[in-house]
Every structure is written in structure tokens, then in C-alpha cells.
Amino acid sequence: MKDFINNLADRVLSGEKLTKEEGLKILNTPDELLENLIDQASKVREAVFKNEVEFCSLINAKNGACTEDCSFCAQSSKYPTPINAYSLVPKKELVEGAVKAVSIKANRYCIVTSGRRATKEEIQQIAEAVREITQTLPVKVCVSIGSIDEEDLKLLKEAGVERVNHNLETSEKHFPNIVSTHPWRERYETIKRIQNTGLSTCCGGIFGIGETDEDIVDLADTYRELGVDSIPMNFLIPIPGTPLANNKQLTPQKCLKIISLFKLFNPQAELRLCGGREQNLREYHDKAMDVANCLMAGGYLTRAGRPPGKDEEMIKRLGRKLITKRDSFSFHKTSV
């Protein structure tokens, strides 16, 4: 097993694709070899992304009242969760969210809406805000607005959106156990549509939702097949009122094995630590950043994160470089 682990980086960097069976072996790495596994995944990260780290930030632009029944989500109207539902915030707030993102040194800012898909009117409003943001602020703009057609993707691209987030969440096999109101294949086809429009893809998963190791490997392999650009790694925070409220948290060691698997299967993709990282990784958070090159700062959709200053301190402690768009940005007017 040790020889298998210690040869992983060389194999991946030579262009070899690990098999699903080897992925399962990675997830079952004995804890005494975990440092070796992290070291191998870290070598792959460093070969592709050097010592750079990127912060991203989001705005919960439309909250709750969602018709979908994702079992892990507080925003579903199907569950009695303590949430403040509201419609799409005004353009001014969308722009202010970008100002806040820049203030915490985020290189990306994502506008996120609840619901199966955004309406045409909402997309127009988002596009207007994106035009102002991209002309006046040094930050890359992403959107996460559910299922979206080609016409709307082109509109958002013309407005300045660079990347679209659309998570598969878990394997095709496990997905019906988590969501019944829309099929996994619909999400998969949306990702293909995003790519066909020439936009960058940000597609992740949430772990700790009752999936098997086979489900985890299948998701990593699907993203490898799709060639996605960024993979957000979310770990369940059980929310009262949702069907997964009583799910047990993953161990930090299991989280590290999952993160390492995704890096070894997707060496060219950005690996982004997102929701639940603090609660699930705990004292192993620094170790996770040996493998990841991005993280979400400033909080999540319905849960607060740790202070951005703490993340910046970690990056400095690890000897990594925080990258921002500020240095290469040509200001049209002073906004920050």
C-alpha cells in the first residue's frame, strides 16, 4: 500500500489516469499513511498551481422558497427550516456584495440564487449588475443560478460573467436518494451547455450525505470526464428541519482522503474548500490547504464561515501567495 501511495504523484503528472478501483484504494488509505497521501496530492497541486491561492466570495442574492427538495438544503420550501426567504436583491446590493468581496481580497465573486432556475427578469437584473461590477471592480464574476438555457448563458457572458457554478452534488446513482424534484442528468446537461457556450465551469459536490465510497469516486471520475475548471468541496453541516439533520459528520481524516482523491483524479482543476470545511476538517484545515489551491471566504449561503482574516493568516503561515485581480485591473472609476 505504501508503494502504491508514494507513486501516485509521478503517475498522475506523467498523464496517467488512475482507475476507479485505485480511487477506492485511495479513499481507504490507512490513517498511518495519510501524510504520504497528502504529500502526493500536494505535489500534484504544486506542479500545476505552484504556491498560489485564490479566495472567492458569494452573495446569497435570492434566499429560500425553493421548490426543489435537496435533502441537505435549508432553502427548500419542503422543510421546516428557520430561514429568512427573500426575492432577488436590488442591483445596488449585488454591486455592494462585489465591493465586500474585493475588501476581503477575493479574486472571484459569485451571485447565487435559490430555485430551480432564475427567471428572465432576474437574469436581466443580474446581467446589469455584472456589467457595472466588471467595469469598476477588480474581481472576476461568477453566477450560480440553477438550470440555464443557451440564450441566457450568452447574455451573461456578454455582460462579463466568466464562470458558472452548477454542482452535480453526488453520483448519478446516489442523486435520487437526495433529490427527487429534478434528475441528475438535467444538471449534467446544463454543465455541457455551459461549456459549449465558452464559459468556465465550477462544479462540485457535497460529502457526508449518505454516499458510498463508490459514489465519491464516480463523482470525481465524472468531473474528470467533463474536464471542469473548478471543483468546490462541500462537507455537510446538518441543518435542523432537513432530512439529513441527524447525519453524522465525516471525520477530518476521511475529508482529507476525499480532497486528495479529487486532486489526483483532476490535477488541472482548481480545488476549492467551501461549506462545512471548518466544522469537518477542524484542526486538519491546514493539511487540506496543502492539497487545495482555493477557498471560499466570508461565509456561505445560509451559514457563517470563519473570519477572512483567519484564512489570510493561514495562507501566510503556509508560505503561499494570495492572488487577486487588483494588480492587473484598469479602473474606470474609483470604487474600492
pLDDT digits (tens, 9 = 90+) for 146-158: 999 999 999 999 9
Widest Cα–Cα separation across the chain? 58
Gap between the Cα atoms of 99 and 294, Å rounded = 20
How is residue 144 written as a grid cell? 450560480
Residue 250 is given by DSSP the state P
Identify the burial level of 207 via C-beta atoms within 10 angstroms of its C-beta, where 0-12 means exposed, 13-18 middle and 19 or more buried.
Answer: buried
Whether the per-residue pLDDT at 326 is higher than 70: the answer is no
pLDDT bracket for residue 330 (50, 70, 90): very low
Q: How far apart are the first and last CA of the chain?
A: 52
Lowest mean pLDDT among 19-33, 63-77, 299-313: 299-313
Whether the per-residue pLDDT at 334 is higher than 80: the answer is no
Alpha helices (H) along the chain: 2-6, 8-13, 20-27, 34-49, 91-103, 120-136, 150-159, 175-178, 184-196, 213-226, 252-265, 277-281, 285-291, 308-317
Distances 118 to 93, 153, 160, 205, 246 between C-alpha atoms, Å: 17, 12, 18, 21, 31
Give 231's strand partners. Answer: 271
4: how many CB neighbours lie within 10 A of its CB? Answer: 15
Which single residue is written with the C-alpha cell 479602473? Answer: 331
Q: What pLDDT shows up at residue 307?
A: 76
**Share above pLDDT 90 across residues of the chain, in percent, rounded to a whole number:** 78
109: how many CB neighbours lie within 10 A of its CB? Answer: 26
pLDDT digits (tens, 9 = 90+) for 48-58: 999 999 999 99
pLDDT bracket for residue 209 (50, 70, 90): very high
80: how many CB neighbours lie within 10 A of its CB? Answer: 9
What mean pLDDT value characterizes the chain?
A: 92
Q: What pLDDT shows up at residue 152?
A: 96
Whether the per-residue pLDDT at 141 is higher than 60: the answer is yes
pLDDT digits (tens, 9 = 90+) for 63-122: 877 888 888 888 887 788 877 788 899 999 999 999 999 999 999 999 999 888 899 999
Q: Which domains does the chain have, with CATH numbers?
A: 2-327 (3.20.20.70)
Gap between the Cα atoms of 297 and 299, Å rounded = 6
Q: What pLDDT shows up at residue 336?
A: 34
pLDDT digits (tens, 9 = 90+) for 230-265: 999 999 989 899 999 999 889 999 999 999 999 999
Alpha helices (H) along 33-80: 34-49
SS3 at position 235? strand
Q: Model-level pTM greater than 0.85?
A: yes
pLDDT bracket for residue 329 (50, 70, 90): very low
Q: What pLDDT shows up at residue 305?
A: 66
Q: What pLDDT shows up at residue 300?
A: 61
**How far is residue 103 CA from its own chain's centroid?**
21
More confident residue, 305 or 333: 305
Whether the per-residue pLDDT at 194 is higher than 90: the answer is yes
